[in-house]
Amino acid sequence: MGLAPSLLVLAVFGLYPFLEVVRFSTWDWSGLSRPHPIGLANYRELLTDPAFWHSLWVTLEFALITLPSFLALSLLVALALEGQRYERWVKGLLFLPGLVTLSAAAVSWYTLLSPEYGALQTLLYTLIPESSPLARWLVVPAWDREPFWALLLVVAFTLWRYLGYGVLVVSASLKSIPRSLLEAAWVDGATPRQALRYVTLPLLRPAVTFLLVVGTILALQSYVAVFLLTRGGPFGGTRVLGYFIYQVGFEQYRLGYAAAATIVLLLLTLLLAYAQARFMEEH
Partner 1 sequence: MKNLLRHLFVALLVLAVALPFLWMAYAAFLPPELVNSGEITRFGFSLQNFRALAPEGFWWRLAYSLGVSSLATLLALLTGFPAAYALREGAPLLGLYLFLLAVPAEMMLVPLYGVLAGTHLLGSPWALIWPFAASPFVVFLLYQGLRAVPWQIVEAARIDGAGEGTILQRVLLPIMFPHLVTAGVLSFAAHWNLVLYPRVMTGEKWWTLQVWMADLVRKYPSDWGLLSAAALLGTLPLALVYLLFERKIVETFEGSLKG
* Residues of span 13-72 touching partner 1 by CB under 8 A: 13-18, 20-21, 24, 31-32
Count of residues of this chain found to bind partner 1 when the rule CB under 8 A is applied: 85
Closest to 98 (Cα-Cα) out of 225, 209, 214 = 225
Rounded to the nearest whole angstrom, what is the least distance from the CB of residue 213 to partner 1 in the complex? 8
209-238: contacts with partner 1 (CB under 8 A): 214, 217-218, 221-224, 227-228
How far, in Å, CA of 182 to CA of 202, rounded?
Answer: 12
Rounded to the nearest whole angstrom, what is the least distance from the CB of residue 135 to partner 1 in the complex? 15
Rounded to the nearest whole angstrom, what is the least distance from the CB of residue 250 to partner 1 in the complex? 5
* Only segment of 4-12, 48-56, 143-151, 194-202 that touches partner 1 (CB under 8 A): 4-12
116-135: contacts with partner 1 (CB under 8 A): 117, 119, 122-123, 126
| Secondary structure (H, E, C), 37-105 | ECCCHHHHHHHCCHHHHHHHHHHHHHHHHHHHHHHHHHHHHHHHHCCCCCHHHHHHHHHHHHHCCHHHH
How far, in Å, CA of 257 to CA of 240, rounded?
Answer: 16
Burial of 101 from C-beta contacts in 10 A (0-12 / 13-18 / 19+): exposed
177 touches partner 1 (CB under 8 A): no
94-113: contacts with partner 1 (CB under 8 A): 94-112
249-268: contacts with partner 1 (CB under 8 A): 249-250, 255, 258-259, 262, 265-266
Rounded to the nearest whole angstrom, what is the least distance from the CB of residue 49 to partner 1 in the complex? 16
Rounded to the nearest whole angstrom, what is the least distance from the CB of residue 43 to partner 1 in the complex? 15
Rounded to the nearest whole angstrom, what is the least distance from the CB of residue 126 to partner 1 in the complex? 5
In this structure, the number of other CB atoms found within 10 A of the CB of residue 275 comes to 12
Query: Which residue's CB is nearer to partner 1, number 65 or number 228?
Result: 228
In this structure, the number of other CB atoms found within 10 A of the CB of residue 51 comes to 13
Q: Which long-range contacts (CB under 8 A, 24 or more apart) does 174-183 make?
A: 174/78, 174/79, 174/82, 174/200, 174/204, 177/203
- List the x/- string, 136-175, binding to partner 1 by CB under 8 A: ------------------------x--x----xx-xxx-x
